[in-house]
Amino acid sequence: MAKALIIDLKLNNIGSVIESFKKIDVECTTKLTKKNIDSADFLVLPGVGSFPAGMKYIKQNKIDVIIKKFSKSKQKKIVGICLGMQLLFEKSNELGLTTKGLSLIKGKVVNLNTKLKPNNKSLIPNIGWHQINVKNRDKLFYRKINKQNYYFIHSYCVETKYSKDISSYIKLDGKKIISSVQRENIFGFQFHPEKSGKKGSFLLKSFVSSFVK
């Protein structure tokens, strides 16, 4: 059975994330003990909330040390969901502040309005179902989810000059918005698989089965 270490940022109820993984027979824990860190196949960084608050909690509790150490083991995986994906990047301008992120993926987090102006017809925050368009087809599980609809709720998005790190995108007002990323053993989903019903469950199962036998 695959084992997941779920990082609880105390910003939201992570119960739905845990339940989603349990449904696909993944053993989950939120306890940051050495034993759990060493035995976990992958680490999950979920979150709904602000980037500054998320990074403050991470720094105060030295969770950044755990995440960065975990990232150096290529046999293990890290996956960020929504805010968790954004925290993987170098910095954010949320709330008018420049806040440093985990810097595991190069790029920054910006307000969706910045991306969509001057022809902004979409409502911010972006809430609802959107079809993702897979850009990186190297991994089998990405090919399985191409053109599928997943649930989004966010007011900020990521930008990167490193196109090879972009695995999928959605379109808002004709603009491409990054919906998932991958850099080596680090993955990020801007959407919420745990809130996307059977398709979300299928994605998580495909993700786990791509590296855990």
Q: Which residues are catalytic?
A: 82, 192, 194
Single-letter amino acid, residue 177:
I
Cα 5 from Cα 208, distance rounded (Å): 13
Cα 211 from Cα 213, distance rounded (Å): 6
Please name which of 72, 73, 75, 71 lies closest in space to residue 88, comparing C-alpha atoms.
Answer: 71
Instruction: Tell me how far apart the terminal alpha carbons of the chain are, to the nearest angstrom.
Output: 9
**Is residue 38 classed as helix, strand or coil in its secondary structure?**
helix
What length does the chain have?
213
Cα 61 from Cα 64, distance rounded (Å): 8
Give the tokens for residue 154.
């966010």
